[in-house]
Amino acid sequence: MSDQATPQPTTQLGRTGVEVSRLCLGTMMFGDWGNKDHDDSIRVIRRAIDSGINFIDSADIYAYGESEEILGKAIAQHGNRDDLVIATKFFNGMKQQPNYRGGSRHWIMRAVEDSLRRLGTDYIDLYQMHRPDEHTDIEETLGALDDLVRQGKVRYIGSSTFQPSQVVEAQWAARQNQTTRFVTEQPPYSLLARGIEADLLPTTHRHSMGTLVWSPLAGGWLSGKYRKGQDLPSTRRGSDKDAFDLTNPVTAAKLEAADSLGALADDLGVQLVHLALAFVLRHPGVTSAIVGPRTMEQLDSLLDASSLELDDATLDRIDEIVPPGTNIDPQDAGFSNYWLSTERRRR
């Protein structure tokens, strides 16, 4: 690919009026969890910005703050903070101690200050709750986040991997208590995990929320490297051999679908990663797709994806491989229903 990538198209972030790139740069792979070279990671971030990506997503838990620190250095080097829409998340435990996690006011007020410091900024454009918290009333969480918006430390708030009923509950609570509402939801979505089409995407659409989808390449399954008759690549994300045990019917079905989608991409003369990203962006309920490259090469392989248009015939062939509204692997839903755990079901 040449240094001149296709300019990134933009769209509105729900009903906020904010314009964001359709590809959102995810930063989970910068730092100890992926690319440990800070300078190289910063170069990847700056390349993404120079290519027209103005939307960047992080989380405090990514490499336990290191990812936010790297992003903060890249923001400082870029120079114009207002060019960028910076999103980050709170919820996951940052220490092996009580009260350093969750959706309580106690933790949110601490977590936001830590993220602001690591990012080197005085405001966060989109502050997201990384997972629902069964132990904390959503009214408490929204009240704390509303205070942060009023203080100017946060501009908008969002949720991540909420179930449709939880999305509705949060919207209702915000209206009932006249607090800031979640304006975005961040669920998993890919050619292999289409479950959100059944209920979540219609729900976010009804509430005029932006939807930022994570894992559009299905954790590497749609990279083009997972084809029948080939050795599965040994990567960080594929280091758990049980996840690639082809004697498991679910894994075998996943490989079958990935291979069929790879063959479809071959027929179309495009890369599978482009087909995968174009597919999720084609859905009218999707705002942006979060891509998480570790290297410059990986980033460059993704930049032109948003320009690919899929016709109805291609979409019909995709539906034959993976039916609409279904996840081949239930674990790809991203949400583990704690009410179905053994201890919750048996009293």
User: Please, are residues 290 and 212 in contact by the beta-carbon 8 Å criterion?
Assistant: yes
Residue 243: predicted pLDDT = 58
CATH of residue 284: 3.20.20.100
Question: pLDDT grade, residue 343 (50/70/90)?
Answer: confident
Q: Is 102 left (phi over 0), alpha (psi -120 to 50) or beta?
A: left
d(CA 26, CA 169): 27
Reported as a single tens digit per residue, the pLDDT across 278-335 is: 999 999 999 999 999 999 999 999 998 888 999 999 999 999 999 999 999 999 999 8
Answer for the pair 3, 46: CB distance below 8 angstroms, yes or no. Answer: no
In this prediction, residue 82 has a pLDDT band, given cuts at 50, 70 and 90, of: very high
pTM: 0.93
Residue 4 lies in a domain: no
pLDDT of residue 120 exceeding 90: yes
Q: What are the beta bridge partners of residue 55?
A: 85
The token duo for 134 is: 């069964």
Nearest to 34 by CA among 73, 70, 74: 70
Neighbouring-strand partners of residue 122 = none
Residue 100 lies in a domain: yes
Give the C-alpha separation, 68 to 119, whole Å: 6
pLDDT at position 278, please? 97
Average pLDDT of 20-33?
Answer: 97
Residue 237 pLDDT = 52
Can you tell me whether residue 263 is helix, strand or coil? helix
Q: Quick: pLDDT tens for 150-176.
A: 999 999 999 999 999 999 999 999 999
Cα distance between residue 274 and residue 222, in whole Å: 9
Which residue segment(s) compose the domain that 49 sits in? 10-223+273-310
Whether residue 321 is contained in a domain is answered as no
What does the CA dihedral 242, 247, 251, 256 come to, rounded to 10 degrees?
Answer: 140
263 is a domain residue = no
For residue range 195-230, list pLDDT tens digits in order: 999 999 999 999 999 999 999 999 999 999 888 877
Distances (CA, A) of 292 to 159, 192, 297: 19, 17, 12
Sign of CA dihedral 300, 302, 303, 304: positive
Return the pLDDT at 44. 98
Three-state SS for 6?
coil
Which candidate, 105, 103, 97, 111, places its Cα nearest to that of 135?
Answer: 103
Residue 325 inside a domain? The answer is: no
Residue 230 maps to a domain: no
Contact between 57 and 46 (Cβ < 8 Å)? no
Distance separating alpha carbons of residues 194 and 215, to the nearest angstrom:
12
CB 156 within 8 A of CB 12: no
pLDDT at 230: 75
At residue 245, the pLDDT reads 76
Whether 234 shows a pLDDT value over 70: the answer reads no
The interaxial angle of helices 312-321 and 272-282, nearest 10 deg, is: 100
Q: How many domains does the chain divide into?
A: 1
What confidence score (pLDDT) does residue 236 get? 43
pLDDT band of residue 238 (cuts 50, 70, 90) is: very low
pLDDT for position 201: 98
What does the pLDDT average to over 62-71? 97
What is the sign of the dihedral through the CA atoms of 156, 83, 285 and 290? negative
Q: What is the pLDDT of residue 102?
A: 96
Mean pLDDT of the chain: 93
Residue 191 in domain = yes
Q: Which residues are marked as active site?
A: 62
- Residue 239, pLDDT > 60, answer no
Q: Confirm if 52 and 84 have CB atoms less than 8 A apart.
A: no
Q: What percent of the chain has pLDDT over 90?
A: 84
pLDDT of 148 reads 98
86 in any annotated domain = yes
Evaluate whether 153 touches 122 at the Cβ level (below 8 Å): yes
